[in-house]
Amino acid sequence: MDPHLLPYAERQAPRYTSYPSANHFDSSVDATMYDGWLRALGESSTLSLYLHIPYCRQLCWYCGCNTFLTRGGDIADFVTTLMMEIDLVASALSSRNVDEIHWGGGTPNVLSPAEFRRLWHHLDFWFDLSPQTQHGIELDPRYVTVELATTYADAGVTRVSLGIQDLNPHVQEAIGRVQPFELVHDAVQILRNAGLSDLSFDLVYGLPEQTSDDLARTIKLAADLEPRRIAVFGYAHVPWFKRRQRLINADTLPGSSERHEQAELAQRLLTDLGYESVGLDHYARSDEPLAIAARAKSLRRNFQGYVASASDALIGFGPSAISQLPVGYAQNIPTIGAWRQAVESDVLPIARGHMQTAEDLRRAAVIQTIMCDLEIDLAPWGGWEKFPDAQVLVAQLAADGIVELHDSSLTIPPSMRQFSRLVAMTFDAYASPSSTAHSRAI
Ligand code: SF4
């Protein structure tokens, strides 16, 4: 890595799955306000539904998600409460048009086939679901069964994301998640046999004990299974925020320079294997919707990461789930007990959020464009004079070759793609250079 880039690689930056980022949400958004936002959505509004299943059978040491260990009977009760939350939200909505459904977590495949069907039928009762509805689910390969795969196929699931991370035994041991390649291979076979062939893999670089050779081997083995998409995320080591990460020996983490090298290696190997780069950290086959959206510059970014659809509202269900409406963000209560108590009292379980100002919406659009297209022409947003703060910061990035400037536009060269979050941050009016709320930019 060019030494003058090292200080940039060590900076922290938000992931920009929202703007402002979730650490700026506060209690000014409550159940009453969210109820008003839901009622204001028109009958013809298109919806994207996200169901957060916060349970896991084991807690992996590296995980930054809001998750809880399963205990006997918990999940059946959880499903009942989630159905009650769907009742509360759907009663406030006039639209029934669903573009997309996504099950995330946690581990959605902790739900038994019967529990999944119960929730699915409940969604089908309230909303207009059709074969055109994009329907995705995140699965832990360790718990994929023939019966679950058949259940998902029968419910019209169109895309499955598998959490792979790394396929080397010593790295898997260092992150507290052991899943040999043969297990992943068998899970893929089970899914394909059930007709679920639109597969997406999540890989991670920057893990403890992980070398560039380990990452290259993981990418090669993963690509042999022919997923249509691969995401390669940088591991975010934030033990002050996620206590379970204290189980990871920080001395075994790759340094900034090695992380940068690994991110570049992933890009090189995956593009050589025929995948197209999408946004910051995704790769997709050229006929895949994300790659098509990236070429058409219609890619979007929300709490699910990069998406090809552009629904009018993203509605989240379950503890800690975040909803994104045209006027702002609302986040559910993160703990299961308090979330359940609110729902059982017929109150929308909102803990906090953010109401967007006109300036927030303008900056959110600019940041989303940078994160998705890796370039932007600011003319439609009033040119540089509307962003004097960003202009100063971007000039420094341009001097170091991270961006190229042409009149009212900026471009991130392909070799600087890994620095996109830092470029986006120059337009972030909430960013604080001393903040420790985020992970490293690379
Ligand atoms: S990585 Fe997945 S399975 Fe592991 S704790 Fe996090 S959500 Fe659960």
The reported pLDDT for the residue numbered 434 is 57
> Cα(69) to centroid of ligand 1, in Å?
10
Tokens of 172: 């898997």
Say how far apart CA 17 and CA 283 lie, in whole Å: 18
The reported pLDDT for the residue numbered 310 is 84
The reported pLDDT for the residue numbered 435 is 57
Domains and CATH numbers, the chain: 18-355 (3.80.30.20), 358-425 (1.10.10.920)
> Cα(210) to centroid of ligand 1, in Å?
19
Tell which residue, 145, 126, 71, 75, has the closest CA to residue 105. 75
Of ligand 1's atoms, which has the minimum distance to the CA of residue 105? 7
Of ligand 1's atoms, which has the minimum distance to the CA of residue 163? 2
pLDDT at 306 over 70: yes
Of ligand 1's atoms, which has the minimum distance to the CA of residue 64? 6
pLDDT digits (tens, 9 = 90+) for 228-260: 999 999 999 989 888 999 999 999 999 999 999
Say how far apart CA 215 and CA 304 lie, in whole Å: 24
Give the confidence band of 151 by pLDDT, cuts at 50, 70, 90: very high
**Residue having the nearest C-alpha atom to atom 1 of ligand 1:** 63
pLDDT at 112 over 90: yes
Question: For a substitution probing ligand 1, which of 107, 166, 179, 238 has the most ligand atoms within 8 Å of its CB?
Answer: 107
The answer to whether residues 353 and 24 touch, using CB atoms and an 8 Å cutoff, is: no
Say how far apart CA 268 and CA 291 lie, in whole Å: 17
The answer to whether residues 50 and 99 touch, using CB atoms and an 8 Å cutoff, is: no
Of ligand 1's atoms, which has the minimum distance to the CA of residue 63? 6
Instruction: State the amino acid at position 270 in one-letter form.
Output: L
> Cα(249) to centroid of ligand 1, in Å?
19
Say how far apart CA 110 and CA 160 lie, in whole Å: 15
pLDDT at 207 over 70: yes
pLDDT digits (tens, 9 = 90+) for 192-203: 999 999 999 999
pLDDT at 437 over 70: no
The reported pLDDT for the residue numbered 254 is 96
pLDDT digits (tens, 9 = 90+) for 375-392: 999 999 999 999 999 999
Question: For a substitution probing ligand 1, which of 111, 177, 184 has the most ligand atoms within 8 Å of its CB?
Answer: 177
Q: Is the peptide bond before 141 cis (omega within 30 degrees of 0)?
A: no
Question: For a substitution probing ligand 1, which of 140, 178, 201, 204 has the most ligand atoms within 8 Å of its CB?
Answer: 140
Quickly count: other Cβ atoms within 10 Å of residue 229's Cβ: 22
**Residue having the nearest C-alpha atom to atom 4 of ligand 1:** 60
> Cα(108) to centroid of ligand 1, in Å?
10
Instruction: Please give all residues whose beta carbon lies within 6 A of any atom in ligand 1, as ranges.
Output: 56, 59-60, 63, 65, 67, 105-107, 140, 163, 177
CA 264 vs CA 2, 278, 346, 439: distances in Å = 13, 14, 50, 18
